[in-house]
Structures are given as C-alpha cells and as structure tokens.
Amino acid sequence: MVNITSLHRWFPFLGWPRPDRETLNGELWAGITVGLMVIPQGVAYAALAGMPLVTGIYASMLPALVAVLWSSSTRLSVGPTALTCLLVASSLTGLAAPGSAEWVNLAVWLALLSGLLQVVLGCVRFGWLLNVVSSPVLMGFTQAAAVLILASQIPALLGFRSGWSHLFTQPGLHAMAAAFGLGSLAALVLARRLVPRFPAVVLVVLAASALSAATGFEAGGGRVVGTLASGLPSLYIPSLLPWPALSQLVVPVLVITLVSFLETASSAKVESQREGHRWNQNQDLIGQGLAKLASGLCGAFPTSSSFSRSALNLYAGARTGWATIVSVIVVLLALLFLTPVLHHVPQSVLAGVVVAAIYGLLRPSSFVRVWRISRVEALTAAVTFVITVLSAPSLYWGVIAGLLMSLSHFLYQRLHPRIIEVGLHPDGSLRDRHLWKLPPLAPHVYALRMDAELDFASASEFERAIVEHLATSHQVQHVCLFAHPINRIDATGVERFGQVRQMLSGRGILLHISSLKLPVESVLRQAGEIQEGPWLKLYRTDAELLLAMSQPTPVQALTIQPSSGSRSTGSP
C-alpha cells in the first residue's frame, strides 16, 4: 500500500482541501485579479529580459500551474519577475543579440539548468544551503538591481529611441511616447495609493492601447508592442551548446537559482506566518524548479515568485491554490483571444509598468537601519550594492562579493568567540566583570564564560583566554567555567579541553564547571575527559557553584556523582 505521506510529498496537490462555494467565490476573484495583472507585467518583463514579448505570457501560464501543483506555498504568484529578468538580460549580454534565436536558446538553457538545480536541491533536502545569503547581502543586491532596472527603463519611458549610449548624441525624442510613458506611470502610482488591491495596470494598458490606436501613434513613428503570436506555445527543445558557451552560464545559473528562490522565500514566509504553519522550503524548491523547467520547455525564461502579485493574491481573498489555477485560465484565454488588443500598446507604457512595479523596492533607509544594527553588515550591504552597479551587466560579481564578505565575517566571529570574565552583579546575574566594573567572584578565582560552541573554530581562543589570564595572575587557585552557553563540542574541542584540564591540574589549580549541557557532557564522558576527582568539580547549576565559591574553603566544593543509567550534572 502506498504511503499517503510520501504520496503527498511527491504530489502535494493531492492534499488540497475540497473547496466549498464560499471558498470558490474568493478564489475566482483573486485568480481573475492576478491573471489580469500578470498579462501586461509578463509582456513588460519579457522586454526587460530581451526576450520576444509573447514569452512573458508563456512564462505566466504553464510555469504558474506547475509551481502551484508541486509547491507547499500554494498562494504564491509564479511567473516573470523584474529581478530574475534583469539577471537573464545581464547574464546574456555580450553572448548574443537581444531577441535573437541564439539569445532565446541561451535563456532557455538558463531556465532549464537553474530549474534542474533547484529540483535536485529540493529532492536531497538541501534547502538550508540557500541560507548562506544574509539579509544585508540580499538587500544590497536588490537595491542595486532596482537602480539598474530603473536606469534601463528611463530612456524608453521618456520616449527616447536610443539607449544611454547614444542618448546625448542621437536622442530621437518622441513626445507622444513620453506622454504615454509618464502618463501611465502617474496613473499606476496614483492607483496604487488609492486602490492598492485593484489591478489598475490592466485598465491603464487597455486605455493606452485604445488611445494609441485612435491617435495613429504607430503610424506616427511610435514604437508599439506589435503583433504577438496567438495560440498555445509549442514544445521548445534547445540546441546543444559548446562547452565554452555553456561554461559562461555556470555562474549566472547559480546566481539565478539563489536569488530567485530568495524571492520565493520572502513571499512564502509571509504566507506561512499568516497561516501559522512551518514553511517547507525543500518542497518549494522542487515546485519552483519544475516551474523553471516548464518555462524553458515553452521557450521562455527563468521564472520566480512575484512578491507584489503574491501579496495581491492574498489581499484579494485567495486561500488555496485554486486561485492560481483560475489566473492560469485567464492568461490562457488572453493568449488565445486577446493578444491583438496588445498590438497598439506603446512600448513606453511597458516601461511605465516596469518602473511602477520597481520604484517601491528603492529603500535607502534600509542601509541606515542595518548601520544601526551592525556597521560591518552595513558595509557588506554597501559593497554589494556598489559592486553590483559597477559590474553591470555582470551582476553576479556583486552577489559573490557580498557572499565572501558575509561568510568572512561569520568565520571571523566563529574564530573569535566572546569569552568574558564574569562577576556577580548586584541584581544577582553573572555579567562581564570588566564592563560592569565588578569585583572578582571570589579571592584567587578566575571565572569565565564562553558564549559559543567549543569546536575547532573556538577551541584555541578558549585555551588562550585561560593561559593568558594565568600568565598575568599567579595567585589563581580556582578556574570556574560557566558552561551553560556551550551547546556543542567536537573532537578538537574535546582535545583542547583535555589539555586545559591537565595544565590546570599540573599547576595545582582546581577546575569548577557548572551547567554543562547533556550533549556536551556525553561527548566528554565518552572521551574520558570528565572524571570527578580532586582537581575537577561539577555542579548542576550556576547557583551551586556560586554557593561553593562563597564558602570559606571553596576547595572542599561538593562533587556530584552520576546516578546509574542517567545523567547527573548536565542541563537539558
């Protein structure tokens, strides 16, 4: 008999609740709302990625369906996103001409390779690996990406026929295109403030299309969307790439895999918190990877979860994945019957759609907030931002630089743990003796606490702290280790602990240890390093150790004997 739990893991949609009439009404409205919003956004983001515009609709249909069926977060809107499209465009710049068959082939390979990588990571439960990107690194990269996206859209938004490279020599300003672009941007910004839950982008695009057709905008030299292919996408089998071309996609694939799933995580965590359940990141990795594979086989580009559309889906009343299925049907109907409506939409309006969706990501105050928390992390975010902007179009250098700085800072902290000499504060707590200017715990006593694991990274500092103190304080007769913060020990930690214990006993110094946790105590006992005797005393709690130190002759402190078959001194 097939295990139901295993079956639901491979086919999560089998666990969906059966919807009632009230639920279906909410799902229907949410699906229509998101479906109407994703169509113009998909076309606009396809232009940002340098892809044929219709591929933005392709990426909004089958990938969204596959993602909702195989993901644990069923209310996320999967499809084209600005950040992923920017990564596609920047990764392929210099390898092919935007919009060409070779460009499309490379974009499909990006989708297939990043999707395959996400599926593999999810299947082997390696979702935790994506946690190596800290919030400051992601924030710095996102801010830089937003700046680059806005910069790329400004010429089209203002009606210039050329990009930044020829903006001042051959501007080619089209006044009507500028009016369409700025007008649509103003309308979208105003609608976001007045009716944030309404898909105003649909009305703006339709109104712009009608006005463009009525005024003869295309005949007057204005750039429009043009004819989009109607009908379902056909199966796209990419042509094989030579190794030099494939090797140039390795780093972009890794960055797209990482960044696109972090986009998903930002939305999925909001949903899981609202529902009060644990986020299954491995299942979402599988769903997002399968969506990318589906997008590639449709001839489109890598997809991701849109935070704005996912938020709109939640606000519109979506409770299950049925809302996404409704939105897919809406996109399908538009692809079959409504693509001629988009023919007259000015390309400056598409730029306005992108700018309206992106400008909200610009939050300079985020750098100030991180600075108040940690100056090192703020510097990491700033370096990530600067390198991402300066290295454009090779944006992955910003992520790599941020990752290296973040991991270096993490490693430095692990190699330099916080080890303090403690004293008894008037409120009864043990605190940093030098920071709070407290007297020693007792005469001839060195009392310390290490707020870290005792492993290969911190063991040397643990030993150094004790040795250096004994070198300057020759009257020490007792060393007290308050071990409650130590929750793990490895082979290196055991070895250094044994060396310290032998060094102290050789000098005639008594070692007192309190609140030793069970996992640490078990390892030390198995290694034979915790054996009560004349030079080692163990205490269940810090209070017992403090009481022993308060005695006139603390050398006679109580030795706790282990009870058979259970721990005696460890704290859980």
Q: Per the structure block, which two tokens stand in for 319?
A: 């409770």
Q: C-alpha angle with apex 190: 187 to 193, nearest 5 degrees?
A: 150
What is the reported pTM? 0.83
Question: How many other C-beta atoms are found inside a 10 Å radius of the C-beta of residue 28?
Answer: 16
Q: Per the structure block, which two tokens stand in for 366?
A: 């985020």
Compute CA distances 176 → 139, 179, 182, 349, 385, whole Å: 36, 5, 10, 11, 35
- Distance of alpha carbon 53 from alpha carbon 232, whole angstroms: 14
- Distance of alpha carbon 352 from alpha carbon 44, whole angstroms: 9
- Distance of alpha carbon 288 from alpha carbon 114, whole angstroms: 10
User: Which residues, listed in sequence order, are joined to residue 422 by a DSSP beta bridge?
Assistant: 432
Compute CA distances 178 → 49, 157, 320, 512, whole Å: 22, 6, 41, 77
Q: C-alpha angle with apex 294: 345 to 244, nearest 5 degrees?
A: 95
Q: C-alpha angle with apex 412: 407 to 415, nearest 5 degrees?
A: 125
Strands 510-514 vs 478-482: parallel, antiparallel or unpaired: parallel
Tens digits of pLDDT across the chain (572 residues): 456 666 667 788 887 877 777 777 878 988 998 998 899 999 999 999 999 999 999 999 999 999 999 998 888 999 999 999 999 999 999 999 999 999 999 999 999 999 999 999 999 998 888 788 889 999 999 999 999 999 889 888 988 876 655 556 556 678 899 999 999 999 999 998 888 878 788 899 999 999 999 999 998 888 899 989 888 999 999 999 999 999 999 999 999 999 898 888 877 876 776 666 778 889 999 999 999 999 999 999 999 999 888 888 887 778 888 999 999 999 999 999 988 999 999 999 999 999 988 887 889 999 999 999 999 999 999 999 999 999 988 888 999 999 999 999 999 999 999 999 999 999 999 999 999 999 998 889 999 999 999 999 999 999 999 999 999 999 999 999 999 999 999 999 999 999 999 999 999 999 999 999 999 999 999 999 988 788 999 999 999 999 998 886 654 443 333 333 333 333 33
- Distance of alpha carbon 229 from alpha carbon 339, whole angstroms: 8
**Which stretches of 298-346 are DSSP H helices?**
307-315, 322-333
Question: How many other C-beta atoms are found inside a 10 Å radius of the C-beta of residue 263?
Answer: 23
The residue written with tokens 């796209």 in the block is 236
Q: Per the structure block, which two tokens stand in for 428?
A: 């009864």
- Residue closest to 161 by CA, chosen among 316, 351, 9: 351
**Which stretches of 160-199 are DSSP H helices?**
175-194
Q: C-alpha angle with apex 83: 80 to 85, nearest 5 degrees?
A: 50
How does DSSP classify residue 337? Answer: I
- Distance of alpha carbon 122 from alpha carbon 125, whole angstroms: 5
pLDDT of residue 564: 34
- Distance of alpha carbon 134 from alpha carbon 405, whole angstroms: 10
